[in-house]
Structures are given as C-alpha cells and as structure tokens.
Chain A
C-alpha cells in the first residue's frame, strides 16, 4: 500500500531561520511527487511536481528535492507569509495512476 509520512508535524521558525520539511514515501513505482501549500480555510495550492530522483525545483524561498525514498522542501530565510500547512502527495505508476496519496502535512509557523 502506498504511504506518505511527513515530519515534523509542526515547525516554528523565526523569520530568516532556514529549515527543511521531510516527506518519506513508499510507493509501487513513483509517477510523481507533489508539494502543496494549504492556508487555513482554503484548498491546497500547487507548488511543485518532482518525477525522478535527483530532480530539484525552486520557487522564491522554496526548493524541493527528491531521492528514491524521500523528498525535502527547503525554506530559505522564511517570512511570516510562508506560514501554512505544507502537504506532500505521491502518485503511483501502477494500479490507479491518477490517485494522489497525501501525507498528514507539516504545519509551519514563521514568527517575525
């Protein structure tokens, strides 16, 4: 069964204090790994898709990386507006390839 585990559950940072969020996954052939951001009371907002080990993608202060077993979301010099829940999801090649399996998320709070 495909599984996604995110850590830590919650993270508090000072503004400017860089850190990383982890997403460990078990999947029967990875088709894609997705990162989303979710603000309270809103739907998930797409950030990145990673398809193969070694791939990296960047957007502003965020950088996502992928290995064969996990993905990291690196946040460089975060600002209070980066506070949100960050969700990781995997899509498998085999079986129902359209399905996304989500992790529980990491709640990030950035204080000024």
Chain B
C-alpha cells in the first residue's frame, strides 16, 4: 500500500486569498485524486490529477477555482483559489497504482476560511 502525506495539515485563511496543498506519495503511482469532505459529509471527488497533462474535473468543479498540478508520479498540488467561507472543508489526496486498484488516502488538510 502507498503511504501518503499532505502539507499543510491545517490552515486558517482569509477570504479572497489562495492556498496550495501538497500531496506526496512514498512510491510511484499511476493515479492521484483530490477529494473534498465538507463538515459532517462524505467525500466528493474534485478531480483526477493526470501526470503530464491537465487534470480531469468532476461536474461542479473548475480549473480556475481548483488548479491542480502533477509534475511526476509521486507528487501533486491542489490550489484553492479566491477562497470564501464556503470553501472551508477537509481536502484529501488519494493515490492508486492502477485504474482498478485500491485508493489509499492521505491524512487530509483541514481548511478554515474566515
């Protein structure tokens, strides 16, 4: 199984600013994903981070708001842009070694926007 770390673990940000979250995997993986977990709710997929190409976004999520990078097979970033209090959430990174393989999750980044 992959071991995944995220930075920062938590942050408190002001409205209108941006935050970049980093996700590091301890081994090369094929697939990396970003999820949002709003307070008291389950996980919603934001996008699939594709290595060497643009991320694939789910309905309701756009690149201008959530730009994603994936420069190699072990690292990805998610930026939450022009934040509002509605963006307060836990952001989770996951990784899988193949399209049908299990997704393993990082510890999450707890974001509070004031």
Task: List residues of A whose CB falls within 8 A of some B CB.
Answer: 31-32, 34, 36, 41-46, 49, 87, 89, 91, 96-105
Please encode chain B, from 49 to 70, with 1 for each CB lying within 8 Å of some chain A CB and 0 for all others: 0000000101000000000000
CB distance from B72 to the nearest CB of A (A): 19
Q: Are A43 and B102 in contact (CB under 8 A)?
A: no
* Contact assessment for A100 and B100 in the assembled complex, using a CB-CB cutoff below 8 Å: no
CB neighbours (8 Å) of A41 from chain B are 108, 110
Q: Chain B nearest CB: distance from A97 CB in Å? A: 6
CB <8 Å contact, B100 and A43: no
Which of B44, B48, B102, B110 contacts A46, CB < 8 Å? Answer: B102
A31 B43 Cβ-Cβ under 8 A: no
Residue of B41, B45, B102, B107 near A49 (CB, 8 A) is: B102
Q: Point out residues on B near A: beta carbons under 8 Å.
A: 1, 4, 31, 33, 41-45, 48, 56, 58, 92, 94, 96, 99-100, 102-108, 110
> Is the beta-carbon distance between A43 and B108 smaller than 8 angstroms?
yes
**B100 contacts A97, C-beta separation under 8 Å:** yes
Q: Are A43 and B48 in contact (CB under 8 A)?
A: no
Interface of B is mostly: strand
The chain B residue with its CB closest to the CB of A6 is: B42
B92 touches A98 (CB 8 A): no
A98-B31, A98-B48, A98-B96 known; A44+B43 contact, CB < 8 A: yes
Collect the chain A residues with CB atoms within 8 Å of residue B100's CB. Answer: 31-32, 91, 97
10 A-B interface contacts by CB (under 8 A): A43-B106, A43-B107, A46-B1, A87-B42, A89-B43, A96-B48, A97-B99, A102-B42, A102-B44, A104-B42
Given contacts A42-B107, A46-B1, contact A104 B41 (CB under 8 A): yes
Pick from A31, A100, A104: contact of B103, CB under 8 Å: A100
A91 to B1, CA, bound (A): 19
Q: Report the minimum CB–CB distance from A64 to chain B (whole Å).
A: 13
Write the chain A residue with the least CB distance to B100: A31
| Inter-chain contacts of B41 with A (CB < 8 A) | 104
Q: Which residues of A contact B104 (CB under 8 A)?
A: 46
B108, A42: Cβ atoms under 8 Å?
yes
